[in-house]
Amino acid sequence: MRMKTQKIVKKNNKMIRQALEESQEPLILSHVRPDGDAVGSMIALCLALEVMGKKPEMVLSDGLPKRYRFLSGSEKIKTEIDLSYDLVIALDCSNYERLSSPDKIDHVHINIDHHVTNENFADMNFVLPEFASTTSILAKFMPEWGLAINKDIANALLMGMITDTIGFRTSNVSPAYFRIAADLQEQGADLVEMYHRGLTLHSTEASKIWGFALSRLETDGHLAWTSILYEDRKIAEYSGTDDADLTNHLSSIENIDISILFNEQKDDKVKVSWRSRAPIDVTRVAAQFGGGGHPQASGAEIRGQLNEVKKQVIKETEKLLKGN
């Protein structure tokens, strides 16, 4: 591990273990519009804490995306905080404002994440950007925190590791990452099933969303972009507010260095997702709009009308492309 990571681990490892041991009713949160890494992290930690005899509660204000409901433990996820809690744990979330129900909590005790743009907003910040997913951090350190990993927990962790790296093919996947995945397989995780469920299986509703958005696909040189309209989700009867994993497809288009997906939300907001080929760092443009993420995968939520947001984002992204 890098020197900075070693210092973070040394500083917080024992404190996190002690906090988890002393807590009886931990509250587990992640970011809005949760992805596989967020969901897998939450479920894995929740199940492990239950084995310890704790009474954890998982809350996602946007609800659980349909594609992850096959995971054992996913049925425990709620949309509102129902129980009292004595510890707040944030997983896979780079800043306080993106948490589910940030207005319903006083502060965060433990922040576990891998985003380089994490704002270290908790009492204990276990932020390790060299790890390609938050689930891989948990898989590595849960045993050191006194948390056992069984088959259901291993499946949740491996699913998060797979989805956040698009099937182990992002530039931040290291040999150590594969070793963690191999350990999870030995602990009972089903690699084939997690890959299929996490990446290749799509609902009819999601497929309709893809159809609408791909019909609007535009390119300019090495830049590609398209939009999901709020109306698209209504017509397709797609219950989520996410992008139906379309960003991963856009990133695979030939001769495109940066792809952008504009996902129209209600109340004049647009969720923008950037994907790029190394070494182009899209956190530089995402940060201009109050967002962040990873060098090759970033996002931001921008207030404004879709067409105006598109103009601003495309203009700044083209500047980034010209500078590389």
- My answer on whether 120 and 136 are in the same domain is yes
Q: What is the average pLDDT across 51-66?
A: 94
| Under 8 Å between Cβ of 143 and 154 | no
The H-or-E segment that residue 235 falls in is: helix 230-236
CATH number of the CATH domain containing 90: 3.90.1640.10
Both 10 and 39 in a single domain? yes
Could you report the per-residue pLDDT of 258-283, keeping only the tens digit for each?
A: 999 999 998 899 999 999 998 999 99
Q: Are residues 64 and 155 in the same domain?
A: yes
The per-residue pLDDT for range 115-151, each reduced to its tens digit, is: 988 999 999 999 999 999 999 999 999 999 999 999 9
How many helical (H) and strand (E) elements, i.e. helices and strands, does the chain have?
Answer: 11, 12
Q: Are residues 57 and 195 in the same domain?
A: yes
- Residue 324 pLDDT: 63
Last residue of a domain, one of 181, 199, 217: 199
Identify whether residues 152 and 38 lie together within a single domain. Answer: yes
Look at the alpha carbons of 142, 143, 147, 152 in this order and tell me if their dihedral is positive or negative: positive
292-302 pLDDT tens trace: 888 999 999 99
Residues 277 and 175 in one domain: no
The reply to whether 155 and 258 lie within a common domain is no
Strands (E) across the chain are located at 26-29, 57-59, 77-78, 87-91, 110-113, 124-127, 218-220, 223-228, 258-265, 269-276, 292-294, 297-303
Domain count along the chain = 2
Q: Which domain holds residue 270?
A: 204-322
Residue 88 sits in the same domain as residue 22: yes
Q: What is the pLDDT of residue 239?
A: 85
Based on the domain organization, do 30 and 112 belong to the same domain?
yes
Kindly tell me if the per-residue pLDDT of 83 is higher than 80: no
Domain co-membership, 17 together with 65: yes
Integer Cα distance of 301 and 32 in angstroms = 11
pLDDT band at 1 (very low <50, low <70, confident <90, very high): low
Q: What is the pLDDT of residue 8?
A: 83
The CA distance from 293 to 313, in Å, is: 16
